[in-house]
A and B are shown apart, each in its own frame.
Chain A
């Protein structure tokens, strides 16, 4: 096997008598595994020419927990807590993606109330995840206070989730066939109240950070992903939309009941900077928060009393076959490739296509030529969660 250093040395500068005094070489610098801007344990080996990045090589695997292997030894329900731990900031969306794959193979009918509550839950989780992205991105760029505002609001969502599901971060709440628990009327009222409050807060965030002169200087025209790069590397979610392409699975390939909902898909328009830069990716997330609030309000208006659990056999055995199910998560599209051989209560193979894994592979493409500080801004703007990169 090749050693990790066999990646092709850059050409050594020619040394002759005149230039011997001026010889230069690339400096290797490790960003991470413990680095505030990597939001977890990601090591990026950067080769710098003074302040300019010449190469960036991501080294993954520090958080590899063999989730795909473990799930081959567990029954279909037992996998759900493991799927939670992929993207621990958006666990509900991850659960939903996996559960949809199993339900498709099982042919389960999910009750309407459960579908609507799943939408409410998933959109609340999307808001929570985007708030986290907003807060930590500001910290990466040296602004501390937005983080406190973001966590204040995120805490309110976590409180609701704690009451409904019993856990704050890793829920095991969306089950095959429906939901573990129903929302009470009081909780629904609190979700509505949160929505009203969120809209006011979102406006505050724009004043606080989005239109801040320093923030714009740090992010506009920095780390530009062209649209062609996005397709070449398979980027999805806010990265693709930030580059100005209007693509959202909830709109273009609707799953669950999303086709009944009326919402916009925000894209990076380049009103500041240009489409595909850090500022546009950031603003797409902030505008998605408002769209999520719209969806939650519509879902609550559609709610009718009923059961939240469909009919599911006690022991789940899936027929022989395979599915690839996509769903729109806060960080991009989650793909679940589930293979079943029939007559078995464990998945034969479960492959998770995680959005961040794809986005990390884009870093070597954009890094060359950037300043180190801009590279930090770029890494922050793709909103990595290492749990799902390493699985």
Chain B
């Protein structure tokens, strides 16, 4: 197509006006935009994806995977979250539940994050705890949106809580919680030291996803605190082997729990067997166990084990359970 001189002039005029409009628009930003462009204060945090430069005081934090509840527990207020199971949400305090519900839901799990929605939130920090393989798939997209701090699933809960508080700038809440935790551990060790030394424990569990007619000898979750921090003797998987709790055992094997002095099992906040565990306590085999008939099966409440708040609730429950233990015959 050819252009006449007058059309050419018109096109040149239009191009000039458009360019001017773009330049004026760019220059016409308000003072807030100018302030945003200024470099914010930053610091470095180290996690499983290396050393990451994050804002010193992040304002718009997004949590993915298992980082949501621990951050909220320490006083953080994420703007976006991946969903947490209803059974877990039911166990947290009302104010924390409100914080969770106020955040934008970004997907059902860490590997189902809606990236468009996430980018739309304009986060200044992303905190994620996921399986390594899932993080590898989304790492580039996340880091292109905001500084991203990642932990794998094998990180110890105290390290995760410390890392989250540092990255999310919620260290004030952590210091107080940590002091309470250490005091509680010391009290339990002092009060029940001899009993703990003389007793073999086993922790059993069952989840919503467990196959009907099966249970597990659980060696992960709150029981790790009882084992590692207090020194209680629970069965543990051999080094390098899968956790015992990953193996679903048929109810027929409940009788095998007879060899332990004390059984711990999960209860809700009211002290009743957790809904998913109720089928176990209803079996005749459970009712006939020596530990059960002698009052040495202890219901323990574990609202979570990824941050100090729920862990402190667990320790209170464990303390009360140990106090109720009848003397060994």
Whether A and B are associated in the same complex: the answer reads no
